[in-house]
Chain A
Amino acid sequence: MIDAKQVLHVARLARLELAPEDVQPMADELSSILGHIEQMSSLDLEGVKPTTHVVPVEGVLRADEAEAPLPREVALSQAPKHSETGFLVPSPQA
């Protein structure tokens, strides 16, 4: 089952801020969800392929043909911060 330490680990990987009082309830909820999924382990699934997608469609591919790129000012316009030519982000090295 999921304990508080695992919750904090996953929260950090997902960059989520969790208030200390939310950690244990989150652990309980996740445990209950995973417990439900674990019930499936009791079934005999020998030879059953994992379902990676529920839509019965396969092999949707695209020909290697180009469409017009976005004009640069449009591409940059949605960014919180940008220069004339690039997206500005907080330095990951800082």
Chain B
Amino acid sequence: MSVADYDITIGLEIHVQLATKTKMFSPIETYFGADPNTLVGPVDLGLPGTLPVPNAQAIHYGIMLGLAFNCAIADRLVFHRKNYFYPDLPKGYQISQFDEPLCGPGNFGGVRIHRVHLEEDAAKLTHAGSSGRIHDSDASVVDFNRGGTSLAEIVTEPDIHSAEQASEWLRLLRTTVRQLGVSDVNMEEGSLRCDANISIAPKGSGVLGAKTELKNMNSFRFIERGIRAEVARQAAILDAGDTVEQETLHFDPRTEAITSMRSKEDAHDYRYFPEPDMVPVVVTSEMVDKAKAAMPELPHEREARFEALGVEPGAARQMSWQPELGDLFEEALAADPAHAKALAALITNELVARLEDGDLTQSKATPASLAQLVALTADGKVSTSGARTVLDTLVASGGDPAQIIEAEGLGAIGGGDELTPIIQAALDANPDVAEKLRGGDMKPIGVIIGAVMKETRGRADGKEVTKIARGLLGL
């Protein structure tokens, strides 16, 4: 069987570093790129006698995430100790949440959200061998700058069914989280990290296969490739008549190799229990109201609003998932609200294609000039192909569309008077085409349109040419 013969089921766990100034339970500032162990306080090191105190801003951000994902917000949250020994965890446990998370079931972008909870990040461990400076081959180096950073963990239900869907959904998630302002979601710096739980089963069998967990992927490309590689690996195992073992895996994006991270006998038994150093946090209605008041318009809401303006769904999605395109669209629309659909098409099809990586800073066209170009096209002052030439100029050097049309002689040829002789000439020059057209075969009309376009340097309108040609041929 091939991969296509299996149903794929994927659930995601996403860790987002919150944009709080200080850590989750410790009043120490945290940011990326500081010298090792310079952003460290007594709580972060788990020194005796220190007490963790939750950061109110982290809870505020957590509530905003819950609202964005349509989650139920708990009225009380309890932090738990998740016990395990690892050198990146000085206390021997991570403070996390267990059975009373901040946010309960929700739904976002067609995927059900299981929960959102708050916890502290682990420190950064550099293993011997990955750093040439360590002479003692037995030693690893711990940097506690990241240790204790406020994290939200978002857990989905297994509602994702392909690698593409996973990466597309994650893009929506990232845009939304960024729009909320609760995290910078910078994947290179590790402020958004993703684990994927993956299982496959023969198509239509309805049974869930054993799941494996692909850990710590930090780019959309790796996530897509990692999931694809793991699905292929599981399919090969099932094809061979074997069974997939439940385990935690690591995907190496360089070699595409998937390796097991922990042996089965080391299976974690975290012995969660309520953190005795912290009292429960009551989530008051004031806190929820404050989070509601801080909510910006979210991408899916913007998408719906754009569609209500008559914008094509694909363009509406593109402009809301890439907020800078949406902002440009709205500014242009403010200059002239008459042609929303055509304006959106111009931005998402024509403008973006002229920019490297869709980077708007490369364009010199003002929003108002784009709106004006769309209006001129709609009024028949310039043909669609002429408009493309105008856009080339606008992107390269800015300016006023009407003046560019004038200066470059791109004005559409209006009415039949000017076009008719040109079309007649094209028909005369292509008698075999004219013959076919007369016989009712309209396919070769492109030849005539092409000849007219060449003659008029793209200023004619194809539909108009067809109409006049039919008239000339007595059709």
A residues with a Cβ closer than 8 A to B are 9, 13, 15, 52-53, 55, 57-67, 69-70, 72, 75-76, 78, 81, 83, 85-94
Contact = CB atoms under 8 A, between A and B. Distances in A.
A93 B56 contact: no
B279 A72 contact: no
B37 A75 contact: yes
Contacts, number: 130
A52 to B, nearest CB: 4
A58 B281 contact: yes
A64 B140 contact: no
A78 B271 CA distance: 28
A52 B128 CA distance: 41
Nearest to B139: A88
B225 interface: no
A67 B37 contact: no
B57 A64 contact: yes
Interface string B43-86: 00101000001111111000000000000000010100001011
A76 B37 contact: yes
Nearest to A50: B274
25 contacts: A13-B271, A52-B280, A61-B54, A61-B56, A62-B53, A62-B56, A63-B56, A64-B22, A64-B55, A64-B58, A66-B22, A70-B40, A72-B35, A72-B37, A76-B37, A83-B141, A85-B37, A86-B37, A86-B142, A86-B143, A87-B144, A88-B140, A88-B142, A90-B138, A90-B140
A65 B53 CA distance: 12
B282 A59 contact: yes
B279 A15 contact: no
A67 B53 contact: no
B54 A81 contact: no
Contacts of B165: none
Given A13-B269, A90-B140, A91-B140, A60 B279 contact: yes
B36 interface: yes
Given A67-B41, A69-B40, A72-B38, A87 B54 contact: no
A10 to B, nearest CB: 8
A9 B267 CA distance: 12
A39 B277 CA distance: 27
Contacts of A57: 279
Contacts of A69: 28-29, 38-41
Interface in B396-444: none
Contacts of A92: 86-87, 125, 140
Nearest to B281: A59
A91 B127 contact: yes
Contacts of B59: 61
Interface of B: 20-22, 27-29, 35-42, 45, 47, 53-59, 76, 78, 83, 85-87, 125-128, 136-144, 269, 271, 274, 276, 278-282, 284
A81 B36 CA distance: 16
A94 B129 CA distance: 11
Nearest to A49: B76
Given A53-B276, A59-B282, A89-B142, A67 B269 contact: no
Contacts of A15: 85
Given A62-B56, A91-B137, 4 more contacts: A59-B282, A72-B35, A85-B36, A86-B36
Contacts of A88: 136, 139-142
A53 B140 contact: no
A4 B21 CA distance: 48
B92 to A, nearest CB: 9
A69 B23 CA distance: 11
B27 A66 contact: yes
Nearest to A91: B140
Nearest to A54: B276
Nearest to A67: B27
A53 B53 CA distance: 15
B38 A61 contact: no
B215 to A, nearest CB: 15
Contacts of B83: 13
A91 B78 contact: no
B25 to A, nearest CB: 8
A90 B55 contact: no
Closest 8 A/B residue pairs (Cβ):
A64-B57, A52-B274, A86-B141, A61-B56, A89-B87, A87-B142, A66-B29, A59-B282
B36 to A, nearest CB: 5
A51 to B, nearest CB: 9
A61 B287 CA distance: 12
B10 to A, nearest CB: 29
Contacts of A58: 76, 279-282
Contacts of B35: 72, 85
B199 to A, nearest CB: 28
Given A72-B38, A86-B36, A86-B142, A55 B279 contact: yes
Contacts of B40: 69-70, 72, 75
